[in-house]
Amino acid sequence: MIILRNEAHGGTVFDTSNGTLVRLDNEGFLAVLKYCWGQKLNQQEREIINEINRKVPIQCSVKFIRLSKVNTRKEGLLVTNGPELIDFQITYKCNSNCPHCYVNAQPNGITVSLRRAIHALNEFYKCRVLQVAFGGGEPTLHPSLPTILKETYDRGIVPNLTSNGKDISNKVINAIIKYCGAVAFSIEDIGIGFANRRGYDIKKLFRLADLLIKVGVNVAFHILVSRSNIEKLPQIVTKLLDLKPYAIVLLTYKPVGRGNPNEVLTTVKPDVLHKKIKKVIELLEGKTNVGFDACFAPALSLLYMSSRGETYEGCSAARTSANVTPNLDVRPCSFVNYVGGNLEKQTLLKIWNGEIFEFFRNQILQKYYRCLNSNCPLANYCLGGCPVMKLVPCTITEIRTPKLF
The predicted structure's pLDDT at residue 313: 81
The predicted structure's pLDDT at residue 372: 86
| Cβ-defined contacts of 295-298 (< 8 Å, 24+) | 295/251, 295/252, 295/254, 295/385, 295/386, 295/391, 295/392, 296/250, 296/251, 296/252, 296/391, 296/392, 297/381, 297/382, 297/383, 297/385, 298/382, 298/384, 298/385, 298/392, 298/393, 298/394, 298/395, 298/396
167: left (phi over 0), alpha (psi -120 to 50) or beta: left
SS3 252: strand
Q: Which domains does the chain have, with CATH numbers?
A: 2-65 (no CATH), 85-382 (3.20.20.70)
Distance of alpha carbon 165 from alpha carbon 184, whole angstroms: 9
Secondary structure element (H or E) that encloses residue 133, with its range: strand 131-135
The predicted structure's pLDDT at residue 307: 41
Distance of alpha carbon 61 from alpha carbon 259, whole angstroms: 44
The predicted structure's pLDDT at residue 381: 83
Based on C-alpha coordinates, what's the Rg of the chain? Answer: 21
Distance of alpha carbon 145 from alpha carbon 238, whole angstroms: 32
What pTM was estimated for this model as a whole?
A: 0.93
Phi/psi of residue 219, each to 5°? Answer: -105, 130
Phi/psi of residue 287, each to 5°? Answer: -110, -30
Residue 52 DSSP label: H
Alpha-helical runs (H) found in 68-200: 114-126, 145-154, 170-179, 192-198
Closest alpha carbon to 99 in 230, 222, 234, 254: 254
DSSP 335-376: TS----EETTTS-HHHHHTSHHHHHHHHHHHHHHHHHHHTT-
Instruction: Tell me the C-alpha to C-alpha distance, in Å, between residue 358 and each of 17, 78, 109, 297, 315.
Output: 32, 13, 30, 22, 14
Which amino acid, 26? N
Secondary structure element (H or E) that encloses residue 255, with its range: none
Give the CA count within 13 Å in the CB-facing half-sphere of 53. 13
Helices then strands, counting H and E runs in the chain, come out as: 13, 14
SS3 216: coil
Tens digit of pLDDT at every position of the chain (405 positions): 899 999 988 999 999 988 899 999 999 999 999 999 999 999 999 999 999 998 898 876 888 888 766 665 656 789 999 999 999 999 999 999 898 999 999 999 999 999 999 999 999 999 999 999 999 999 999 999 999 999 999 999 999 999 999 999 999 999 999 999 999 999 999 989 999 988 899 999 999 999 999 999 999 999 999 999 999 999 999 999 999 999 999 999 999 999 999 999 999 999 999 999 999 999 998 999 999 999 999 988 777 654 444 467 889 999 999 999 999 999 999 999 999 999 999 999 999 999 999 999 999 999 999 888 888 878 888 898 999 999 999 887 776 444 443
Do the Cβ atoms of 226 and 235 come closer than 8 Å?
Answer: no
Q: How far is CA 206 from the centre of its chain?
A: 23
The predicted structure's pLDDT at residue 72: 59
Distance of alpha carbon 44 from alpha carbon 31, whole angstroms: 9
The predicted structure's pLDDT at residue 70: 63
The predicted structure's pLDDT at residue 69: 64
